[in-house]
Amino acid sequence: MASILNVGQLAEGFVLDHIEAGKSMEIYKYLNLDKLDCTVAIIKNARSEKMGKKDILKIECPIDFIDLNVLGFIDHNITVNIVKDEKIVEKMTLTLPKEIRNIIKCKNPRCITSIEQELDHIFLLTDPEKEVYRCKYCEEKYNRKKNK
Amino acid sequence: MRHVMSPLDFSVGELDKLLDLASDIEKNPAKYAHACDGKVLATLFYEPSTRTRLSFESAMIHLGGQVLGFSNAASSSAAKGESVSDTIRMISCYADICAMRHPKEGAPMVATAVSSIPVINAGDGGHQHPTQTLTDLMTIRSLKGRLNHLTIGLCGDLKFGRTVHSLINALVRYEDISFVFISPDELRIPDYIREDVLDAKGISYQEVERLEDVIGGLDLLYMTRVQRERFFNEEDYVRLKDFYILDKKKMALANENMLVLHPLPRVNEISVEVDSDPRAAYFKQVQYGVYVRMALILTLLEVEV
């Protein structure tokens, strides 16, 4: 599988491997890659011994351009390879982020986020074990496990 | 600068200090009569409230300060579509401190992000109502002499009743507290209180439907109103509003030292015949509410007397 990744072609950036098949566009959106002027390769349904099928994202950009914390919320099984000078310099372990911003929306109709202009939807991790997040403003619960 | 969004913003030690100050104000009101001369409190009330707003205004006036504000959203710029953030930026130029009530949960917290004056949450939707909790704590401490070793019954609307949620959050920090929740199935306490507060801290509690079955074992009975504005439809409100009514007959089953508290206004959940019972503490609560708000204003404005 390593030859499929073709990491050598990236001077600097990320290779996101072991993405659940079909989820790469979702991650593309969450990472706001459409707003970045950089080269992105999306590989869908690549063969995988471990997963059967998987997606891969290759992103060529300075490594401080993207906040990868959100990946921990989307799927912490994704493998993140950080590439510098055409070599993998680090494999990042993903954990649940303590705070997520504008990734999920508060569904409580009584929450201030439903009317206040340009207010970020912020959720805070309140129970890492049960993977529970709560809206910063109204404490509405979002259970990541149940919403997968 | 400090804001108050929830009763948990204060540690138990800080709460003790605040309640001590409130007790001193009760005993020596003249000492504090000019403590806030030249200071202005803004009361930003986006939904109707008599008690809380007047209590804040009374508190500031008794400290020698002045008050400005609005008492419903229609008479504010919110009716023209102004955001909470913009309103508080403007109010910060007019006042030294503000109390905000808003129907949307989390609105006062939005204000804190841009405010240059202390913001007090005076009730945000069904979420938090910290100054009512401070009032409740002061009433309990003043009349019971303690905030620990208590069995507290909470009756009525426990789902939407923000005073109930705030009070539970505050009381679980004291030793040997147990709760009895008395409500119809539709109005039981929300999951987040049950799971994250009570179960997580190993607090003893039971949930029952009949007040008569448990009133005899309570040190304190906290009654709440079934609020019309918290329901999405009139039919549900009419069906549930008369579910629990405290009267002389039920009071006869309670022990002689049990206190009855209520955040007010009541509709008919406490019969007027109970008002003359020495255990009825809900009107004393109103007076304690002024003292504790005076103490809060002094604390947030960092005024030493």
Mean pLDDT of chain B: 93
> Which of B102, B104, B192 is nearest residue A139 as measured by Cβ atoms?
B192
Quote the pLDDT of residue B243. 67
The first and second tokens of residue A24, run together, are 């790469």
**Domain shared by A79 and A134, yes or no:** no
How sure is the predictor about B231, in pLDDT bands with cuts at 50, 70 and 90?
low
Distance CA B137, CA B24 (A): 15
> Using one digit for the tens of pLDDT, what is the confidence trace for B276-289?
999 999 999 999 99
Closest to A116 (Cβ–Cβ): which among B83, B124, B127?
B83
Interchain CB distance below 8 Å, B125 and A110: yes
Query: Do A61 and A125 belong to one domain?
Result: no
d(CA B138, CA B15): 10
Considering the domain architecture, whether residues A111 and A138 belong to the same structural domain is answered as yes
pLDDT band per the 50, 70, 90 thresholds, residue B232: low
CATH of the domain at A41: 3.30.70.140
Q: What is the pLDDT of residue A2?
A: 44
pLDDT exceeds 50 at position A7: no
Reported pTM: 0.85
CB of A138 within 8 A of CB of B127?
Answer: yes
Whole-number pLDDT of residue A9: 74
Shared domain check, A85 and A18: yes
Collect all residues with Cβ–Cβ distance below 8 Å to A84 and sequence separation of at least 6. A12, A63
Instruction: Please tell me the predicted confidence (pLDDT) of residue B242.
Output: 67
**Percent of chain B residues topping a pLDDT of 70:** 97
Q: Domain B131-286 belongs to what topology? A: Rossmann fold (3.40.50)
| CA–CA dist B174, B147 (Å, integer) | 7
In contact, B191 and B202? CB cutoff 8 Å: no
Q: What residues in chain B have their Cβ under 8 A from chain A's Cβ atoms?
A: 83-85, 102-107, 109-110, 124-127, 191-192, 196
Q: Which of B8, B114, B127 to substitute to test the interface with A, most A CBs within 10 Å?
A: B127
Q: Chain B residue with minimal CA distance to A117?
A: B83
**For residue A119, which residues of chain B lie inside 8 Å, CB to CB?**
85, 110
Chain segment B111-162, per-residue pLDDT in tens: 999 999 999 999 998 888 999 999 999 999 999 999 999 999 999 989 887 7
Cβ of A115 and B104 within 8 Å? yes
Residues 87-126 of chain A whose Cβ lies under 8 A from any Cβ of chain B = 108, 110-117, 119, 126
Question: Does the pLDDT value for residue B197 go beyond 50?
Answer: yes
Between B56 and B51, the more confident residue is B56
A134 CB within 8 Å of a chain B CB = yes
Residue A1 has pLDDT above 50, yes or no: no
Number of domains in chain A: 2
Class of domain B7-127+289-300: alpha beta
How do the residues of chain A divide into helix, strand and coil, expressed in percent and rounded to 5? 20, 40, 45
Residue ranges per structural domain of chain B: 7-127+289-300, 131-286
pLDDT reported for residue A3: 42
Q: Which residues of B143-174 are buried (b: 16+ CB within 10 A; e: fewer)?
A: bbeebeebbbbbbbbbbbbbbbbbbbbbbbbb
Averaging pLDDT over each range in A59-73, A96-110, B16-30, B73-87, which range is the top one? B16-30
Do residue A29 and residue A57 come from a single domain?
Answer: yes
Give the domain extent around A34: 2-92
* pLDDT averaged over every residue in chain A: 87
Mark whether A35 and A78 lie in a shared domain.
Answer: yes
Q: Is residue A148 part of a domain?
A: no
Residues A134 and A87 in one domain: no
CATH for A107: 2.30.30
Residue A13 to residues A23, A40, B78, Cα–Cα distance (Å): 20, 10, 46
Fold: same for B7-127+289-300 and B131-286: yes
| pLDDT for the residue B222 | 97
Mean pLDDT calculated for residue range B28-47:
97
Sort out which chain A residues have CB atoms less than 8 A from B84's CB and list them. 112, 116
Would you say residue B52 has pLDDT above 60? yes
| Contact at CB, A141 and B191, closer than 8 angstroms | yes
Which pair of structure tokens corresponds to residue A72?
Answer: 């921990």
* pLDDT tops 70 at residue A94: yes
Other CB atoms within 10 A of residue B74 CB: 9
Closest CB from A111, A127, A141 relative to B106? A111
Of B104, B126, B196, the CB nearest to A114: B104
Helix (H, G, I), strand (E, B) or coil at A73: helix
pLDDT reading at B218 higher than 60: yes
Q: Are B282 and B17 within 8 A, CB to CB? A: no
pLDDT at B87: 95
Domain boundary among A72, A92, A112: A92
Give the distance, in angstroms, between the CA of residue A28 and the centroid of all CA atoms in the same chain: 8
The predicted model gives B20-46 an average pLDDT of 98
Name the residue among B295, B299, B261, B205 with its Cα closest to residue B25.
Answer: B295
Locate the chain B residue with the closest alpha carbon to A116.
B83
CA distance A137 to chain B (A): 4
Whether B43 shows a pLDDT value over 70: the answer reads yes
